[in-house]
Amino acid sequence: MKYLITIVGPTAIGKTSLSIAIANYFKCEIISCDSRQFFKEMTIGTAVPNVTELAAAKHHFIQNKSIFENYTVGDFEKEAIAKLAELFIKNDVAILVGGSGLYVDAVLKGFDEFPEIDPEVRAEINSKYEKLGIGFLQQQLEFLDPNYYQSLKANNPQTLQNPQRMMRFVEVCVGSGKPYSSFLNQKHNSRDFTAILIGLEAERTIIYERINQRVDTMMSQGLLQEANKVYPNKDLNALQTVGYRELFSYFENEISLEFAIQEIKKNTRRFSKRQLTWFKRNQDTKWFDYNEPIEDIISFIKLKK
């Protein structure tokens, strides 16, 4: 039997240190499942494990791509499953760790398959978005897939403000002639491993304090300079993320640096709430306090094996 120990939880909760401790105990390797740590141009703002942490256990999918590459969750699923097959040849245990819920689900359950979309359809939708804005995409999705639109509005409203995601929804509707939602949850992949899900949590005030401290640390480590270096490419999808967007607004003289830092903290706190909401949906996850002794967590894993 092969086991994938999956460690999830909100940002800044301590997933990296726990994953390294467990990897050392089971003498196994780690697959990172953080959708922004893939990119080699983004180090400080994505809290990539430091040199000491990377040396403490073998990591995969850390800064292995460029922001200029088009890398999707579907691409990650294929590559991660292939890497796991390779790792399981020499060890019965591997670790998956990260805060990107969609990417975690892709590895554990598989990713929905969608039809190929004519590039001309994509180009036309993109052109209309550039002229008419996000409102055009929202109206189109509400018309073409009203049930999915209402579901997003009620449960995931921030997605309705994400141009990349919205263009994808609309292009699938237009290009296939079917609602986007009709392609969801149709694929049931079998996996050659058993997942053991571990969640780390803490009181909200503690999470928020840890986030604030992390942002201050990032700024002292040079996040401002890192953001300035990638600023010329600010429209790339990989850079549409907390910690960079706010500093881009500062570079454009829209807000002060002090306000930008406060916005990074606020938006990261909001992101952490969304992470917890996503991960709490899975009833199979065993939740531990972030201060739980590592020995107790390892004992739980050994009982599940």
Token digits for 241? 């993320």
pLDDT of residue 70: 84
Give yes or no for residue 295 having a pLDDT over 90.
Answer: yes
Between CA 299 and CA 305 the distance in angstroms is 10
Binding-site positions for substrate = 11-16
pLDDT of residue 188: 59
The H or E element spanning position 90 is helix 73-90
Paired strand residues for 7: 97, 198
Between CA 40 and CA 37 the distance in angstroms is 7
Cα 175 from chain centroid (whole Å): 27
56: DSSP letter:
H
pLDDT of residue 115: 84
Strand order in the sheet with 194-201: 59-60, 30-32, 93-97, 3-8, 194-201, 286-289
Positions of E strands within 44-139: 59-60, 93-97
Look up the pTM and report it.
0.80
Between CA 270 and CA 161 the distance in angstroms is 15
Chain mean pLDDT for the chain: 94
Mean pLDDT computed over 39-61: 96
Binding-site positions = 9-16
The CA-atom distances, in angstroms, between 165 and each of 38, 106, 135, 171, 267 are 19, 16, 13, 10, 19
240: DSSP letter:
-
Give yes or no for residue 302 having a pLDDT over 90.
Answer: yes
Between CA 190 and CA 192 the distance in angstroms is 7
pLDDT of residue 227: 98
Identify whether the C-beta of residue 290 lies closer than 8 Å to the C-beta of residue 296: no
Q: Which fold has domain 3-111+187-304?
A: Rossmann fold (3.40.50)
pLDDT of residue 114: 82
Between CA 129 and CA 135 the distance in angstroms is 8
* Per-residue pLDDT tens over the stretch 144-154: 999 999 999 98
* Per-residue pLDDT tens over the stretch 158-194: 889 989 899 999 999 999 999 999 988 766 567 999 9
Q: Any idea where the domains of the chain sit in the sequence?
A: 3-111+187-304, 119-183
For 119-183, CATH gives: 1.10.20.140
Identify whether the C-beta of residue 211 lies closer than 8 Å to the C-beta of residue 265: yes
Binding-site positions for ATP = 9-16
pLDDT of residue 237: 84
Give yes or no for residue 142 having a pLDDT over 90.
Answer: yes
pLDDT of residue 211: 97
pLDDT of residue 148: 94
pLDDT of residue 189: 67
- The fraction of the chain above a pLDDT of 70, given in percent, is 99
Mean pLDDT computed over 237-258: 95
Give yes or no for residue 74 having a pLDDT over 90.
Answer: no
* Per-residue pLDDT tens over the stretch 101-111: 989 999 998 87
Between CA 88 and CA 94 the distance in angstroms is 7
Between CA 264 and CA 43 the distance in angstroms is 16
